[in-house]
Amino acid sequence: MNNKTILVTGGTGSFGTTFTKKLLNKYKDIKIVIFSRDEEKQHRLRLELNDNRVRFEIGDVRDRDRVNQVMKGIDMVFHAAALKQVPSCEFFPMEAVKTNILGTNNVLDAALATRVRKVVCLSTDKSVYPINSMGMSKALMEKIAITKSKTGFLDVCVTRYGNVMASRGSVIPIWYEAAKNNQPITITNGNMTRFLLTLDDAVELVLYALENGENGDTFIKKAPACKMSVLADAVIAVANSKSKTVNVGMRHGEKMHESLIGEEEMLRAVDCGDYYKILPDSRDLNYDLFFETGNDNRMREAYTSANTNQLTQEEVEDLLQDIL
């Protein structure tokens, strides 16, 4: 990516900040455009980086004209802008539609119009068998990205990952602050499982997709998981706390277990070692074939937070020591 200009939408978020720092350290002659709507986060990141290779642009992916403006002169796009909080999207689903669906369409259309070389879109495990507005909107985001890849004029890949540990707004920092003050830690359901990835894992996944992806591919990094009760106990132990856990019941839009690859997608999944690659559905708009000809391959088990490697409390504590 030397001598290239990179656009990171949602670039002041947890992923965007970590990703930008990695690129600046790795590539001497790179230029990065941070596009986001939060001027306060931009101000803090500008002071922290203090690097003239980075340009900050205020704007929202919902604004088609603004996206078209900022896309000029861009070589590659990493699309991380999204509404990600399940409760927020559940109570305000049209806001999720505007950002996650229409905003993505704006970014991809602008990339098409300006002949951007490659776009990597970031998605979530909640897009697989979605039951909440956030997951549904990200599932459609993926569909839009894959559809745009079929134009033949834009190289698009999708990455999909689960919970990023200690990212902004995630449960671990909230629990840790409560534990340090010996306050109760609230758990919706202790038997609930979630994938666990670090921010570095997420960055590695996106760079892997950039380097190895072909048009229309979706990439998943294999990840361990644990029960929420195990995670809570690990946070309490790392905080050297006397806090107790309290079960409060499942919230709106929550699943017991998350999936990174569905059963149907496993038919097109390729095992790449530390990663899975899901090949795009190659069927076209010949509707007669679409309705008359199917696929009788035997279904394979979905890749979920319940059947992946389950971490012990000690293993989770080791992960937390590095990020808290």
DSSP sequence for 63-114: -HHHHHHHTTT-SEEEE------HHHHHH-HHHHIIIIIIHHHHHHHHHHHT
Question: In the chain, pLDDT over 90 holds for what percent of residues?
Answer: 84
Higher-confidence position of 222 and 163: 222
pLDDT at position 292: 62
What is the radius of gyration, based on Cα positions, of the chain? 20
Q: How far apart are alpha carbons 174 and 298 in whole angstroms? A: 43
pLDDT at position 291: 61
Across 28-32, 253-257, 308-312, least confident range? 253-257
pLDDT at position 151: 85
Q: For the whole model, what pTM was predicted?
A: 0.92
pLDDT at position 294: 62
Q: Domain limits of the chain?
A: 5-163+196-222
Q: What would you measure as the largest C-alpha separation in the chain, in angstroms?
A: 65
pLDDT, tens digit, 9 for 90 and up, residues 313-323? 999 999 999 88
**Coil, strand, or helix at residue 9?**
strand
Contact 9, 38 (CB under 8 A): no
pLDDT, tens digit, 9 for 90 and up, residues 64-115? 999 999 999 999 999 999 999 998 999 999 999 999 999 999 999 999 999 9
As a whole number, mean pLDDT of residues 280-296 equals 66
Residues 6+ apart with CB under 8 A from 290: 283
| Closest listed residue to residue 33, CA positions, set 25, 42, 41 | 42
Alpha-carbon 305 to chain mean position: 16
pLDDT at position 284: 67
Q: How far apart are alpha carbons 127 and 125 in whole angstroms? A: 5
pLDDT, tens digit, 9 for 90 and up, residues 134-156? 999 999 999 999 999 988 889 99
Extract the tokens encoding 259: 């999936």
The catalytic residues are 126
As a whole number, the mean pLDDT across the chain is 93
Q: What superfamily does domain 5-163+196-222 belong to in CATH?
A: NAD(P)-binding Rossmann-like Domain (3.40.50.720)
DSSP state of 310: B
| Closest listed residue to residue 277, CA positions, set 213, 223, 211, 204 | 213
pLDDT at residue 203 greater than cutoff 80: yes
Nearest 10 degrees: CA dihedral of 236, 238, 241, 246? -10
